[in-house]
Amino acid sequence: MTTNYSELLKRGVQTRRLRRKSVNGFMLSLTGILTLLALVPLFWIIGYVIYRGGKTLNLAFFTQLPKPMGMAGGGVLHAIEGSLIVTLMATVLAFVPGVLAAFYAARNPNTPLGIALRFSTDVLSGVPSIVVGLFGYTLIVKPQGHYSAFAGSVALAILMLPTIIRTTEEMLKLVPGALREGSLALGASEWKTSLNVLLPAAMDGVITGVLLAIARAAGETAPLLFTTLGNERFDLGSIIKSGVQNHQGIFQIMGRIFNSPIDSLPLTLWKYAQQPYPERVDQAWGVALILMILVLTINVIARIWIELRKKKLRG
C-alpha cells in the first residue's frame, strides 16, 4: 500500500505545533539574552571611559603641552601632534607599496611571487606588534643613534601593510573582469587599464582598507616604545616657527620633525597611567577617551563609506 505522504506531513505539522512554538520562542529569547551579554563589555568600557575621562576633557587638554609633574592642568597637545605625524607618515610609507603589491597579487595569484606575497602578508599580520617595534629599533634607531618619529612610522607602516594589501586585493577581486576586458578591447595596455580603470573602480574599497589600517595603527603602543620613545617637550608649532625664523627649507623642517623622538596618544596613556600623580592618572583616562573616540569614529566612517559604495554600485 502506498503511503499517503501528504497526510503524514499534515499530521506532523499539526501535532508538533505547540512544541515548535515554545522551543522557537525559548531559543529566540536565549539568543537575544546572549547577544545583550556580548554587548555588555563594549558598552561598559565605553561608559566607564567616558565617566573617568570626561572630566579632564577641556580645551586646554587639547591645546596645551603638559605641565611639569605634580602640577595640575596642562594638556596632551604633544601626544595628539605626535600621533598625527607618526600615523600620517606611516600611511604614506605603507600606501603605495601596499597597493602595488596587492595589484600584483590579484593579477598573478598563481606565480611563485604571488603566492609568496600572500603567504607573507598572512604571516606578517600575525607578528606581535612588539616584535615589529624591536625590528624598527634594530633597523633604524640603533644605527641612527637616536629615537625618532621616522622609526616609529616605519614600524607602524609594517603593521599597516598586511591590512592594506589584503583589503586592496579583496577590492580588486570585486572589480568585474569585464571592465578589464572592455578596456583592453579598446586598445589599452595592461598597466593603463590597471591605472585608469581598475584602480579607480576599486578606490573606494582601498580607502576603506587604509582607514581601517590607520585605526589600528593609531592605537598601537608597543612598536612605538622602542622607536619613538616619547617626548613631552615636542612642540610642532615652535619647531615650525624656529625653522621659519632660521630660514630653513621645508624639507629641513620636516627632517627635524621626523628625526626627533616623539610621543603619541597610546604611549602617553601608558606612561601617565603608571605615574603616582593622580592628575596624571586622570589625564590618562582623558587620553583613553580621545583614543576611543578616534578609533570609533574612523571605524564608523569606514563602515558608512562601504555601505554608500555598495549602494552606488547597485545603481
Partner 1 sequence: MDMKIEIKQKGDWVVDDNPNIKMKTTYLSVNYGKFRALTDINMEISEQKITAIIGPSGCGKSTLLRSFNRMNDLTPSARIEGEIALDGENIYGKNVDVVDVRRRIGMVFQRPNPFPKSIYDNVSYGPRLYGIRDRNNLDGIVESSLRQSALWDEVKDKLHQSGMSLSGGQQQRLCIARALAVQPEVILMDEPASALDPISTLRIEELMHDLAKSYTIIIVTHNMQQAARVSDFTAMMMIDETRSGRLIEYNATNIIFTRPQDKRTEDYVTGRFG
Is 199 one of the binding residues for partner 1 (CB under 8 A)?
no
Which listed residue (47, 73, 97, 182) binds partner 1 by CB under 8 A? 182
Instruction: Compute the least distance from the CB of residue 113 to partner 1, in Å.
Output: 16
189, burial (CB in 10 Å: exposed 0-12, middle 13-18, buried 19+)? exposed
Q: Which residue pairs from 305-310 have beta carbons closer than 8 angstroms and sit at least 24 positions apart in sequence?
A: 305/204, 305/207, 305/208, 305/211, 306/204, 306/205, 306/208, 309/204, 309/205, 309/208
Number of residues this chain uses to bind partner 1 (CB under 8 A): 20
Tell me the DSSP string of 235-276.
-HHHHHHHHHHTT--HHHHHHHHHHS----HHHHHHHHHHSS
Q: Segment contacting partner 1 (CB under 8 A): 12-20, 129-137, 189-197, 244-252?
A: 189-197
CA dihedral 173, 176, 178, 182 (to 10 degrees): -90
Is 276 one of the binding residues for partner 1 (CB under 8 A)?
no
Is 207 one of the binding residues for partner 1 (CB under 8 A)?
no
Instruction: Compute the least distance from the CB of residue 37 to partner 1, in Å.
Output: 43
Which listed residue (12, 32, 70, 176) binds partner 1 by CB under 8 A? 176
Is 109 one of the binding residues for partner 1 (CB under 8 A)?
no
Which candidate, 56, 75, 41, 43, places its Cα nearest to that of 289? 56
Is 208 one of the binding residues for partner 1 (CB under 8 A)?
no
Is 178 one of the binding residues for partner 1 (CB under 8 A)?
yes
Which residues contribute to the site for partner 1 (CB under 8 A)? 176, 178-179, 181-189, 192, 196-197, 200-201, 312-313, 315
